Structure 1
Amino acid sequence: DARTLSAPDRFLDHVPVGLVRMTREGELIFVNRAARALLGERAVPGARIGELIEGLGRSLPERLTEVSTGRVGPSEIARARHAERELYLQVALNRLIQDGEVSVIAVISDQTELKSLEAQFVQSQKMQAVGQLAGGVAHDFNNLLTAINGHCDLLLLRHEPGDSDHGDLVQIRQNANRAAALVRQLLAFSRKQTLRPKILQLGETLSELSHLLNRLLGAKVTLRIDNGPDLWPVRVDERQFEQVVMNLVVNARDAMPSGGEVEIRTRNLLLDKPIERDRATIPAGKYVLIEVSDTGVGIPEDRLAKIFEPFFTTKKLGEGTGLGLSTAYGIIKQTGGFIFATSEVGQGTTFSIYLPRHDPEQEAAEPVEPVREPVRDLTGQGGVLLVEDEAPVRSFAARALRLRGYTVLEAESGEEALEIMERDGEGVDLLISDVVMPGIDGPSWVRKARESRPDLKVIFVSGYAEDVFRTEGGEVAGAVFMAKPFSLNELTQKVKEVIEG
């Protein structure tokens, strides 16, 4: 009661900063109003400070003893024990001598927002670092897979279906393709895959996808799709969006081993002001909200924060790669949207995807890619300069093109390519170059070569995505991009299209 306080304590009770005075053993003597608001109703004289806060850098008795002797350390962050929500407090301890009696005074302030921003920054840095690692690993694997697939294609040309080795080669090819799909998931998480966005009405997309989703779910699980009226258009890569939905639906199925229901809901959402969700800020604007809910086992709170990290999985060994949700996360983020998860153990999980509404005024500016019929006759004529620093990839590509009738010159660097162009460049019609190489990179040497031969046609190949190539200064007028890994037929078809195009 404020009436029983001494005059100095009555003054301190109204100070808008949390103040606590306690014995050197940690028993509370005085707690002002601001401190009670932070520490809770149990913060009364006679209570122990150790019952109210936890998580100091060192044990509380050790800190109190140290402060009592006059040694003052830096302030530390503690966590309030009473709080229903996470409440982080900055606690600064100091010695107070009053009438010869030694006590300890604590200045307490709420640092929850700062701690949340710090955790958000650390998580962002971690996801970025893992993304860079995943992108780098994917690039190197794409080079390896191009060589494996390519040389396998060359062997298949010499082994007919009746040959005893044909089946083994097909198995190598199929497993290499599975590895390529895994690499695409890594690139999706690192947001470095090539997207082909177009304007979609999600209601139509989900309706067309429902037949496949029902097959994925099986007989025990029912699917319900509830599309809101007059959904706004969105601009996404249709195949990648379908991949996101399938990943979420498969996860929902696995969370319901005894059966249940998966519901996909869509609706328009107008945000008048930014909102905060899971340490992310969704800007104000118009969105299409897609929610995928299940009635499964749910995800424990301590695992919920990690589910979008690559290779994190709650499934048994061998039942999943841990890339499904990280792939979904990467695709949605690269598209400019947001994805969140809420879950209650025993009740189920809901994934919420926010996709920004497409502005119809931009629709006219969308480039329309011509639909090309596959080239059936892959033989051709012309001179090709192939520049690739990875010898196995260069070896396969050169042999494939020579088999189809092209004259091929080879170089392992941009510098060597420029020397070849000076010496034997008259017969070259097409340049095929890797993008990232030691020394001069692909776009740089191609620009130099075009100074004297502006008519040269160009194909760039890379284990990275086309968007990364274009945004990092790789834009070269009229150049065509081809992502690794590619097959023998894909390479020769692209070359024929460019030379004859």
Structure 2
Amino acid sequence: MHDPVLKNVRADKRQLEQVLMNLVVNARDAMPEGGDIRIETGIQRLEIPLERDRATVPPGEYVTVQVSDKGCGIPVDKLQKVFEPFFATKRQGEGTGLGLSTAYGIVKQSGGFIFVDSTVGRGTTFTLMFPVYQGVPVAGPARDKPLPSRNVPMPRDEGVVLLVEDEAPVRAFASRALKLKGYTVIEAGTGEEAMNLLQDPLLDVDLFVTDVIMPGMDGPTWVRQARQIRPDVRVVFVSGYAEDALDDSADPVSNSVFLPKPFSLTDLLDTVQKQMA
């Protein structure tokens, strides 16, 4: 259901699409046997501040978007944690726990608010509130600059990171954080793909950030091979299975550090910054 007369909000269209996609995917996963996902939009005017979930929504006019499902619901003791990075109500292997964290960050960055209501066994509703934009609409932020031609060395203003992660949501989450910090990020989904990228002698890389356990070549394996042609590149290994993946008996990878999952954005950025120093 949609209000036929919605007003403008100031936000990036692509980012809002990502928020809705994340919420819809979350709703789908909450209904393994199938069901309906309801998306409603509307206008809400607040005459007094709305105090909720440790947030204060100022008085004013807001465009609201609600995404609802009739799924399994979220226990009360977990509701306050659903927006934390890498928190997930699913079993291990069923999801990364990044979708809601990403949605929260985008909504807050847009000056909006996001709330969740849920009852176990009955379903969940996420409510987004964006202040109505009274100014003249302007073009959204410019798209990410394309990578330079493979015939031109890449810029090194803040350092170049080769990010290798087989789970696309995790890779997108980390890539966005690093780009916002000012780094140039090159992405690869496998160790093999990373090795192919490194065959270009004009591709300058300062740091490898790689998952440890991946299909095909694991992190330590591809990094050791890459070091044969890029001996000075430093490394950040990321995994939730450090003791199994980086065995003490294996040849240690020099100039490398380990970042255990789950980690916060601050943890990731601090680790990368220290390795870049």
Q: State the TM-score bracket (shorter-chain normalisation).
A: 0.5 to 0.7
2:185 to 472, 480, 484: 484
Preserved contact between residue 227 and residue 267 of structure 1 (Cα < 8 Å) = yes
Q: Which amino acid letter does the alignment assign opposite residue 74 of structure 2?
A: I
Give SS of 1:264's match.
strand
Q: Write out per-residue CA displacement over residues 63-89 of structure 1, whole angstroms, 9 at most, x where no aligned residue.
A: xxxxxxxxxxxxxxxxxxxxxxxxxxx
Aligned to 2:23: 248
Shift of 1:339: 0.5
The two structures, once aligned, show a CA RMSD in angstroms of 3.3
The number of residue pairs the alignment matches comes to 174
2:70 to 280, 284, 295: 295
Shift of 1:332: 0.7
Aligned to 1:435: 158
CA distance in 2, matches of 1:325, 1:242: 13
Aligned to 1:335: 110
Q: What pairs with 1:2-401 in structure 2 (closer than 5 Å)?
A: 226-361=1-136, 363=137, 366=138, 400=150
Shift of 1:281: 0.4
Q: Identity across aligned pairs (percent)?
A: 51
| TM-score, length of structure 2 as denominator length | 0.55
Give 1 or 2 for the bigger CA radius of gyration.
1
Structure 2 unaligned blocks of 5 or more: 161-175, 189-196, 204-277
Preserved contact between residue 463 and residue 483 of structure 1 (Cα < 8 Å) = no
Shift of 1:464: 3.5
- CA distance 1:484–1:256, change in 2 (3 Å): same
CA distance in 2, matches of 1:281, 1:268: 18
Q: Which amino acid letter does the alignment assign opposite residue 275 of structure 1?
A: L
Give SS of 2:67's match.
strand
Shift of 1:229: 2.3
Preserved contact between residue 272 and residue 284 of structure 1 (Cα < 8 Å) = yes
Give SS of 1:235's match.
coil
Shift of 1:341: 0.3
Preserved contact between residue 463 and residue 485 of structure 1 (Cα < 8 Å) = no
Aligned to 1:426: none
Structure 1 unaligned blocks of 5 or more: 1-225, 379-399, 409-430, 438-461, 470-481, 493-501
Give SS of 1:341's match.
strand
More helix by share: 1
- CA distance 1:303–1:486, change in 2 (3 Å): closer
- CA distance 1:369–1:309, change in 2 (3 Å): closer
- CA distance 1:485–1:463, change in 2 (3 Å): farther
Preserved contact between residue 159 and residue 184 of structure 2 (Cα < 8 Å) = no
Aligned to 1:19: none
Preserved contact between residue 11 and residue 140 of structure 2 (Cα < 8 Å) = no
Aligned to 2:168: none
Give SS of 2:114's match.
strand
Shift of 1:243: 1.3
Q: Which amino acid letter does the alignment assign opposite residue 287 of structure 1?
A: Y
Ranges of 4+ aligned residues in structure 1 off by more than 2 Å: 366-371, 462-466, 485-489
Shift of 1:370: 9.0
Preserved contact between residue 311 and residue 322 of structure 1 (Cα < 8 Å) = yes
Preserved contact between residue 463 and residue 484 of structure 1 (Cα < 8 Å) = no
